[in-house]
């Protein structure tokens, strides 16, 4: 069963930039996590996203569309990336969500609609 | 004291009333069918989703043998919301009907039905496994909080429509479930801590309200009405919990409640227990409760300073009631009357509301006549 892990964190919190002392360790943690997912046969896909300031939202209102600057929801925590994983149960998905090296932030676990039901 | 104090409590409590017994046997009947209802709903979907794999909806018993406990732990999956956990626990482990739960919480039956439907939908859609995890600690923590919430709801109804201060049925249900869980999970002494806390509170039941349904303050209660055997059981259960040497907030709260069952409360000790409680998890309610104990040690002015430092409880009636009481005892009757006003506006329980109205009136009179301080409440 597929679950989308939606990663969000507060952009005002410091995160290591290329060239910073902790940057390599930070990147290594992410790469280790992705490798662990792959090794467990749970990895489907995943990407890191550009900051929320780069987002554009196309709002649909019964056929009419409006293009707006910014993400669709103004929250303290911004969407920063995702993993699509394939595991047996929600408990497995929660375990993987616990292991995301996000530092401080949130990981929403959302079950994907099973396509073989359509 | 038998080897399994909680089981003993369970037996004694079970014999407490005819009505209780009636529900017990009904609960036994419902228990197995309800478990199947929940699992059937889940397996159905699993079957249609992947016929190749056999559904894993049959829970593993593992170290947990008791069917009721197994259901409780399933209902307390941390991915479910608290209201869903409570409704599921009462329905599946407690064996209450949807109508009974609705009655206890004074909400329309459809509300509870909806909560149960939503919970089952999430269990299905998110594929929450109906198995007991190997590491029980997180699940036991949720279960303790759920049972504590059920007991609180029964012990002190929040709703004005409830009419009486105690809804004994719900509180008893919580005690039964807590006793079952505490017995089966001796490595989780917080469950026993909660059980002791529940017993200490419940022991004062007959003394908490007078014939007219009015609230009686702790220091004014007729102690001969306290259930001494229930207090003794509380002590035994608490001692058992403390012997596991894994102190937690429920055990500390039980220690505080135990202190109030003594002939003379050692208020300095109560303050110290609150200090421990606050280090375990910052809680503004615990800070308020600590301040009330401080008043008995250092006087109302000192307590008032502490109370005024607490933020975030502006919508909590007991915050204003405590402030009002401390102001009154400090001889500031006019401010006290205003604080009682605020408390009155936030109090839903009729017995509490009547008490607050009484205190408000007497504070207003004192403000007019500039009388000295008058006695105070302690046990809301």
| Interface pTM, i.e. ipTM | 0.83
pLDDT of B334 reads 93
Contacts of residue A87 in chain B, CB cutoff 8 Å?
none
Distance from CA of A50 to the nearest CA of B (A): 29
Q: Do B127 and A111 touch (CB under 8 A)?
A: yes
In this structure, what DSSP letter does residue A116 have?
Answer: G
Q: Could you give the 3-state DSSP secondary structure of residue A13? A: coil
Length of chain A in terms of residues written: 118
Q: Which residue of B has its CA nearest to A113?
A: B125
B53, two tokens: 């794999």
pLDDT of B40 reads 41
Residue B293 phi/psi, 5° resolution?
-70, -35
* Residue where the block lists tokens 């039901």: A117
| DSSP assignment of B236-279 | HHHHHHHTT----HHHHHHHHHHHTTSSS--HHHHHHHHHHHHH
With an 8 Å Cβ cutoff, is A91 touching chain B? Answer: yes
Distance from CA of B249 to the nearest CA of A (A): 25
Number of domains, chain A = 1
Nearest Cβ partner for B126 among A111, A116, A117:
A111
Show the domain range for A76: 2-117
User: Rounded CA gap, B345 and B33, in Å?
Assistant: 45
With an 8 Å Cβ cutoff, is A90 touching chain B? Answer: yes
pLDDT of B268 reads 97
Q: Do A89 and B133 touch (CB under 8 A)?
A: no
**pLDDT tens over chain B, length 380 residues:** 344 444 433 333 333 333 443 444 444 444 444 444 454 444 333 333 333 333 333 333 334 447 888 899 999 999 999 999 999 999 998 888 898 888 878 789 999 999 999 999 999 999 999 888 888 999 999 999 999 999 988 887 654 455 555 566 788 889 999 999 999 999 999 999 999 999 999 999 888 888 887 888 888 899 999 999 999 999 999 999 999 999 999 999 999 999 999 988 999 999 999 999 999 988 899 999 999 999 999 999 999 999 999 999 999 999 999 999 999 999 999 999 999 999 999 987 778 888 999 999 999 888 887 655 555 555 44
The number of helices, as runs of H, and strands, as runs of E, in chain A is 2, 6
Chains A, B: CB contacts within 8 A come to 29
With an 8 Å Cβ cutoff, is A89 touching chain B? Answer: yes
Report whether B128 contacts B178 (CB < 8 A).
no
pLDDT of B23 reads 46
User: Rounded CA gap, B371 and B363, in Å?
Assistant: 9
Q: Where are the alpha helices (DSSP H) in chain B?
A: 5-14, 18-49, 67-75, 82-88, 98-105, 109-125, 137-155, 168-184, 189-203, 205-208, 228-242, 249-259, 267-280, 284-298, 300-309, 317-329, 333-346, 350-369
Collect the ranges in chain A with pLDDT lower than 50. Answer: none
- CA angle, corner B73, sides to B67 and B75, nearest 5? 100
The CATH number covering residue A104 comes to: 3.30.70.1060
Percentage with pLDDT > 70 across chain A: 97
b/e for A61-89, b at 16 or more Cβ within 10 A? eeeeeeeeeebeeeeebbbbbbbbbbbeb
Per-domain boundaries in chain B: 5-245
User: Rounded CA gap, B94 and B178, in Å?
Assistant: 11
With an 8 Å Cβ cutoff, is A95 touching chain B? Answer: no
Distance from CA of B49 to the nearest CA of A (A): 7
pLDDT one-digit tens code per residue, B139-180? 999 999 999 999 988 887 654 455 555 566 788 889 999 999
Alpha-carbon distance values, B290 to A60, B26, B70, B168, B304 (Å): 53, 42, 37, 28, 11
Alpha-carbon distance values, B46 to A42, A71, A87 (Å): 19, 36, 14
With an 8 Å Cβ cutoff, is A98 touching chain B? Answer: no
Please count the other Cβ atoms lying within 10 Å of the Cβ belonging to residue B110.
11
Please count the other Cβ atoms lying within 10 Å of the Cβ belonging to residue B61.
12
pLDDT of B359 reads 92
Q: Do A91 and B133 touch (CB under 8 A)?
A: yes
């Amino acid at each position: 069963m597929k679950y989308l892990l939606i990663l969000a964190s507060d952009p005002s919190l410091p995160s290591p930039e290329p060239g910073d002392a902790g940057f390599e360790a930070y990147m290594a943690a992410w790469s280790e996590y992705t490798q662990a997912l792959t090794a467990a046969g749970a990895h489907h896909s995943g990407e890191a996203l550009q900051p929320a300031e780069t987002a554009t939202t196309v709002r649909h209102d019964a056929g009419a569309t409006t293009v707006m600057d910014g993400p669709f929801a103004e929250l303290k925590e911004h969407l920063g990336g995702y993993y699509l994983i394939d595991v047996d149960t929600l408990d497995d998905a929660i375990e993987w969500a616990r292991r995301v090296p996000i530092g401080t932030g949130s990981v929403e676990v959302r079950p994907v609609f099973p396509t073989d039901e359509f | 004291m038998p080897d399994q104090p909680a089981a003993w409590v369970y037996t004694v409590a079970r014999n407490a009333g005819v009505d209780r017994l009636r529900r017990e046997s009904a609960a036994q009947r419902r228990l197995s069918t309800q478990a199947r209802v929940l699992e059937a709903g889940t397996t159905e979907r699993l079957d249609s989703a992947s016929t190749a794999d056999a559904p894993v909806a049959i829970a593993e018993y593992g170290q947990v043998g008791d069917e009721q406990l197994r259901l409780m732990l399933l209902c307390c999956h941390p991915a479910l919301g608290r209201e869903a956990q409570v409704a599921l626990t009462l329905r599946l482990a407690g064996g209450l009907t949807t109508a009974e739960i609705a009655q206890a919480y004074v909400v329309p039956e459809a509300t509870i039905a909806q909560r149960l439907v939503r919970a089952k939908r999430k269990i299905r859609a998110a594929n929450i496994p109906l198995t007991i995890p190997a590491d029980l600690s997180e699940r036991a923590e949720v279960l303790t909080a759920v049972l504590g919430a059920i007991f609180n709801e029964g012990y002190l109804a929040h709703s004005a429509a409830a009419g009486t201060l105690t809804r004994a049925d719900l509180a008893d249900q919580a005690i039964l479930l807590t006793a079952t869980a505490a017995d089966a999970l001796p490595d989780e002494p917080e469950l026993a801590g909660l059980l002791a806390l529940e017993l200490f509170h419940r022991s004062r039941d007959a003394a908490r309200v007078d014939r007219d349904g009015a609230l009686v303050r702790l220091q004014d209660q007729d102690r001969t009405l306290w259930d001494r055997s229930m207090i003794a059981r509380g002590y035994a259960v608490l001692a058992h919990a403390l012997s596991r040497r894994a102190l937690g907030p429920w055990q500390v709260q039980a220690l505080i409640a135990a202190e109030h069952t003594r002939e003379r409360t050692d208020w300095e000790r109560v303050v110290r227990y609150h200090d421990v409680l606050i280090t375990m998890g910052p809680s503004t309610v615990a800070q308020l409760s600590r301040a009330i104990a401080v008043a008995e040690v250092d006087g109302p002015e000192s307590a008032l300073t502490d109370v005024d430092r607490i933020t975030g409880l502006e919508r909590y009636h007991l915050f204003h009631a405590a402030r009002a009481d401390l102001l009154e005892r400090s001889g500031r009757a006019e401010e006290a009357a205003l604080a009682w006003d605020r408390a009155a506006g936030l109090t839903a329980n009729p017995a509490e509301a009547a008490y607050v109205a009484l205190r408000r009136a007497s504070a207003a009179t004192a403000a007019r006549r500039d009388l000295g301080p008058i006695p105070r409440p302690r046990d809301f």
